[in-house]
Amino acid sequence: MKRLAVISASLLMLGFGGKAAFAQEEAKADKAAGGRTVTVFVDNDRVKAYEGRFSPGEKSPQMSKRPDRVEFAMTDSQMRHYYLDGKVEDVMWKAGEVKWSERATYQQENIGTTEFRIRVVQLK
């Protein structure tokens, strides 16, 4: 129950107070290979909250182990996930949509025509 409260509070903070938080954290944005930007809002021993931005056609640089997480789409998008076993999955996002994602290892690609912005709260 406590974890649910933490997740809910985090989502509220990121969803409603995001512009202020983003303005404060913009200096901490980390430009990754291929134009992907990650802005970290909180990173401690319990949780990591950040915003990721993917340009159209951009692919994450490598396979990544992703922990359990809540994802909140800031924009519409079409993403493609490439898994270690060769499986390929297309994932559609609508702005405002929230999804729970289990641990997984995959590489992702923005197959849409616009920038995709997503806010993520990862449990540690």
Q: Where are the domains of the chain?
A: 2-123
pLDDT of residue 24: 43
pLDDT of residue 60: 84
- Domain 2-123: which CATH class? mainly beta
Burial profile 82-117: b = 16 or more Cβ within 10 angstroms, e = fewer: beeeeeeeeeebeeeeeeeeeeeebebbbbbeebbb
Q: At what angle do helices 2-16 and 18-25 cross, to 10 degrees?
A: 80
**For residues 97 and 95, what is the distance between their CA atoms, to the nearest angstrom?**
6
pLDDT of residue 4: 55
50-66 pLDDT, tens per residue? Answer: 999 999 999 887 777 88
pLDDT reading at 103 higher than 80: yes
**For residues 31 and 104, what is the distance between their CA atoms, to the nearest angstrom?**
23
**For residues 96 and 46, what is the distance between their CA atoms, to the nearest angstrom?**
25
Average pLDDT over residues 9-34: 47
pLDDT of residue 65: 81
pTM listed for this prediction:
0.73
Average pLDDT over residues 70-74: 97
CB count in 10 Å sphere of residue 45? 6
Q: Hey, what are 71's tokens?
A: 């994802």
pLDDT reading at 114 higher than 80: yes
